Structure 1
């Protein structure tokens, strides 16, 4: 990469990083305002402390005014601090959530890619690098916006108390930008090395887990253990280097700050003793001197925070190339139709799909219409492309040629993720109660909604015999469910989502005949008025469909069509 290309990439990374803050910007602006208020209230608090200290040193009892100002300012400052942390946390959460939503959409196989994403890099981007970006914005944005206001306020107060002390602060602050620049240069090199070492370790760990049986069979465990140790040692070394650079830049700043505070303390002390007199400066009193000394360290606090944010900024910039390549662009819902509660007609018009690495299309020239409120089944041998076809209908993939549309009375749109209910061969049960697992279909569902979903899925008898009914825990240490019962959990989730389109991928696979028959009845009951597209090998499930297609050699043909009343 040439110097010009590197410069362009850096500018683009900075622009992308700035745009990533948009989902949480409103909250971070509120945090900046609270941070400035915290500075103002802290000055009030120190004013009260100076009044109380002056009274005590003079041998008098502290005045009620001084105590009131001290405790009132402290409470207000604590409230502003709490509000700052709260707004920062919400802003950080919004940014991370928005990035992860785009990552999930980008990592799914929708659209055309030159190749599949590297699993280790994708996992690192989703789990760690997203947090690096959100942490940077949550830390730096409020500080960057509030620092000028806070520093100007402190400098103004110091100038009103003793303008020579303000001059000392101003002269010392002129040395800070050079230190911040050095901190940024140190941080960038270290952050790049740390990101590369982290990605390598993640790749080695993931490959080790995926190929553990093979490594054991070829007696390569010891060699892989050594490789893991080297990767971990590289990450440890780069992390220590980052800490060392941060400590060095922090030490330089500490010297400047310490010198400034010491100079001010010396000036104030000599002025109080009468050794130094500046005719144009206000008369030095104990109150003025104490308050100037108390607010002096506050002047440098925003600068210290900004120096620390240089390290998080370079970590975030290092994360941008790794994460931005996976992201899907934010999409607008303005042109989407919502199938929830509405009949949906699915139309495939001359649809073909060819994977980037394949020589021939997997699917070609498909024309299919799934009428609203009907069952459409697709049968065919394994590897014929049934699951791929369902992924096109559900919006997981985009066709290479042709169009897939969802038609409802309110309009038409291309399929979009989350717009339909999907039930596959495997039902994932998460730690929690049965109710929690069903509520995944609609997190805000109430108890009555859950009970309707349970009844629709044919789970009522199963739930009735459980010790805690819907609150019965599942998983390790909890209740176990059979494969058929787990599928009914999936049906209840889909019913709760109120989707008008259900896409089913071998929903009765690996079930005995009796359980399959019961599940078909449950599916029929739960999908009344819904459109169902199902891929299956099951003769019984194919017979229950209103329209049956056969899929072979990438093409589709009608096998049977009948009208059900």
Structure 2
């Protein structure tokens, strides 16, 4: 699927179906579990912050009353001291609440990334069709979107009811007409919050689609920069990237405008309520208004009611401000679920290596079709005998790598069956049970020993030395400044392409697998390097079953059997040639 097709499919901005949205909301609530302990502590401290703040304003109002009544200086001193202590406690509780909420967010993000890692890595049993752009977006951005949402809303869900009840109780205690004004204006807020939610939902859907599209364009551009340069298409791709960035910018500004508008309406309602209370209290203190049966207003009670009035609306204001955060989190929940829940319920774990018994492979009526394709990409019926070398040939893009991934268990066939056979047992492909050497060797910024040991982290020194000999690396290691302890730069700086390929062979040898799958192992090598790599492979795979996808004629000619893929059909090339 192209990036344009992906945007056209996902960029409509249409809200999710109600049933799916309810499911996403349920999952979103459950995803807060890893940080719920921290969120509960944070909510408790937010409630304490409210109580300390009420105390602070009470001390200030009491001090003002003392000054107006010409009381002794001791009253003012005690009032100011109480104000200072309560202020310190309120600030401390607020800061601590924020710190605990951040810890909870980190716990949630870590939990989500662990789920995503387990779902995306083949060793977890997932037959992943998730593209790299979508996987990176989920790991980096979406996990943080969900975690930030919980950090802002879960503690608030604990503290908001208690804080509002505390403020309302204090207001009612000092002057109940002011509390009635607060209750009446509260009824106007849910409608505004609902409108804010609808606005935010539509905008968040479009923003998520634009983000996904931009991620795909950027990743495709980086991966194909060499091809784009050779075709002279860098400028055209730059315009595509600019268009994608503009789409995201427009979607983001739309979300911000909606958030600003809903926040403005919320502020109007809150300001109106505070203004009504302030006007009533002012006129009451001046003697112009007197509500029947209402307690007499003093400077202390009137000032305290005015000071705590904004605190009553603070939780609602905070909740309204995170409506757009919730919609982003809901979109993230749907995307993460699509990745995590696609993991097979029953996972076939790799068997323990059987060093003395090579593995045969049988393909029975195997068909594979990519999602959305009109026809099968690959059709195969074949047997690969244990302990033999089989070459798979065919044009670029014919399906050689797809075939190897089916044999390895990295993909599941659309139809048919792939089986691994030994003299004692037959089974479906077990992830991690075979050795894989591809045309792109991944070398870490670590020592040669550590790069080889990736194949088996607990390998002893003797086993590493055996892998070095089997891969023909002995001379190479002797020529390095510190031998096996020589540190390679990121991407394998310090060794040639052929030497890097032999390090990959040593790594695979260390696994002890009896089935080797080789994807163009001699690609981009000169004749001498190709010969050295083939010799290393022959040594390392002695007694193993080897299936190699290759364009190399010498490598194919040296195989025990040769199969070709033409128009998606796998057939025995030597039988065809004999005809």
Determine whether 1:402 maps to 2:402: no
Aligned equivalents of 1:285, 1:340: Cα separation in 2:
83
Q: Deviation digits for residues 224-261 of structure 1, max 9, x if unmatched?
A: 66665555444433432322222111111122223334
Query: Which of 390, 401, 423 does residue 378 from structure 1 map onto?
Result: 390
Residue number in structure 1 paired with 2:317:
304
Q: Deviation digits for residues 23-57 of structure 1, max 9, x if unmatched?
A: 83312433542332132231344256347646876
Query: Which of 256, 272, 294 does residue 243 from structure 1 map onto?
Result: 256
Residue number in structure 2 paired with 1:171:
184
Report how far residue 510 of structure 1 moved: 4.9
Determine whether 1:339 maps to 2:351: yes
C-alpha contact 1:47 1:70 (8 A) present in aligned 2: no
Determine whether 1:474 maps to 2:485: no
Aligned equivalents of 1:272, 1:421: Cα separation in 2:
86
Report how far residue 457 of structure 1 moved: 3.7
C-alpha contact 2:43 2:155 (8 A) present in aligned 1: yes
Query: Which deviates more, 384-393 or 422-431?
Result: 384-393
Aligned equivalents of 1:151, 1:23: Cα separation in 2:
20
Aligned equivalents of 1:207, 1:221: Cα separation in 2:
12
Aligned equivalents of 1:275, 1:426: Cα separation in 2:
86
Indicate how the Cα distance of structure 1 residues 391 and 318 shifts in structure 2: closer, same or farther if over 3 A, else same: same
Report how far residue 273 of structure 1 moved: 8.1
Query: Which of 384, 387, 409 does residue 401 from structure 2 map onto?
Result: 387
* Residues 88-237 of structure 1 aligned to structure 2 (within 5 Å): 88-96=105-113, 98-99=115-116, 102=119, 122=131, 125-128=134-137, 133-141=142-150, 143-163=152-172, 164=176, 165-195=178-208, 197-198=210-211, 229=242, 232-237=245-250
C-alpha contact 2:168 2:312 (8 A) present in aligned 1: no
Q: Deviation digits for residues 48-67 of structure 1, max 9, x if unmatched?
A: 63476468764315798876
Q: Deviation digits for residues 193-234 of structure 1, max 9, x if unmatched?
A: 445555665676677778878888998777766665555444
How many residues were matched structurally? Answer: 533
* Residues 413-492 of structure 1 aligned to structure 2 (within 5 Å): 414-415=428-429, 417-418=431-432, 420-430=434-444, 445=457, 453=464, 456-458=467-469, 465-466=480-481, 470=485, 472-475=487-490, 479-491=493-505
Query: Which deviates more, 216-225 or 31-40?
Result: 216-225
* Residues 518-557 of structure 1 aligned to structure 2 (within 5 Å): 519=533, 533-535=547-549, 548-552=560-564, 554-556=570-572
Determine whether 1:35 maps to 2:52: no
Q: Deviation digits for residues 351-386 of structure 1, max 9, x if unmatched?
A: 42354658677443223354xxxx442124334865
Indicate how the Cα distance of structure 1 residues 508 and 233 shifts in structure 2: closer, same or farther if over 3 A, else same: closer
Aligned equivalents of 1:218, 1:526: Cα separation in 2:
40
Aligned equivalents of 1:449, 1:262: Cα separation in 2:
77
Aligned equivalents of 2:301, 2:330: Cα separation in 1:
45
Aligned equivalents of 1:527, 1:68: Cα separation in 2:
76
Residue number in structure 2 paired with 1:3:
none
Aligned equivalents of 2:512, 2:62: Cα separation in 1:
71
Indicate how the Cα distance of structure 1 residues 413 and 208 shifts in structure 2: closer, same or farther if over 3 A, else same: same
Report how far residue 472 of structure 1 moved: 2.4
Indicate how the Cα distance of structure 1 residues 535 and 288 shifts in structure 2: closer, same or farther if over 3 A, else same: farther
Query: Which deviates more, 463-472 or 9-18?
Result: 463-472
Aligned equivalents of 1:193, 1:369: Cα separation in 2:
53
Report how far residue 290 of structure 1 moved: 7.1
State TM-score, norm by structure 1: 0.72
Aligned equivalents of 1:238, 1:137: Cα separation in 2:
19
Aligned residue for 1:550, secondary structure, equals: strand
Aligned equivalents of 1:70, 1:407: Cα separation in 2:
74
C-alpha contact 1:434 1:473 (8 A) present in aligned 2: yes
Q: Which runs of 5+ in 1 are unaligned?
A: 1-5, 560-565
Residue number in structure 1 paired with 2:10:
none
Q: Which runs of 5+ in 2 are unaligned?
A: 1-12, 65-74
C-alpha contact 1:379 1:535 (8 A) present in aligned 2: yes
C-alpha contact 2:105 2:150 (8 A) present in aligned 1: no
Indicate how the Cα distance of structure 1 residues 176 and 527 shifts in structure 2: closer, same or farther if over 3 A, else same: farther
C-alpha contact 2:435 2:511 (8 A) present in aligned 1: yes
C-alpha contact 2:284 2:290 (8 A) present in aligned 1: yes
Aligned residue for 1:329, secondary structure, equals: coil
Indicate how the Cα distance of structure 1 residues 197 and 408 shifts in structure 2: closer, same or farther if over 3 A, else same: same
Report how far residue 507 of structure 1 moved: 3.0
Coordinate RMSD, CA, aligned: 5.2
Residue number in structure 2 paired with 1:24:
31
Query: Which deviates more, 430-439 or 78-87?
Result: 430-439
Aligned equivalents of 1:62, 1:125: Cα separation in 2:
59
C-alpha contact 1:379 1:551 (8 A) present in aligned 2: yes
Aligned equivalents of 2:323, 2:155: Cα separation in 1:
16
Aligned residue for 1:474, secondary structure, equals: coil
Report how far residue 293 of structure 1 moved: 5.8
Query: Which of 236, 249, 259 does residue 272 from structure 2 map onto?
Result: 259
Report how far residue 266 of structure 1 moved: 5.6
Aligned residue for 2:342, secondary structure, equals: coil
Aligned equivalents of 2:299, 2:540: Cα separation in 1:
80
Indicate how the Cα distance of structure 1 residues 224 and 525 shifts in structure 2: closer, same or farther if over 3 A, else same: closer
Indicate how the Cα distance of structure 1 residues 280 and 495 shifts in structure 2: closer, same or farther if over 3 A, else same: farther
Q: Deviation digits for residues 441-478 of structure 1, max 9, x if unmatched?
A: 57xx57x76996476245577567346964725148x9
Aligned equivalents of 2:448, 2:306: Cα separation in 1:
61
Report how far residue 427 of structure 1 moved: 0.7
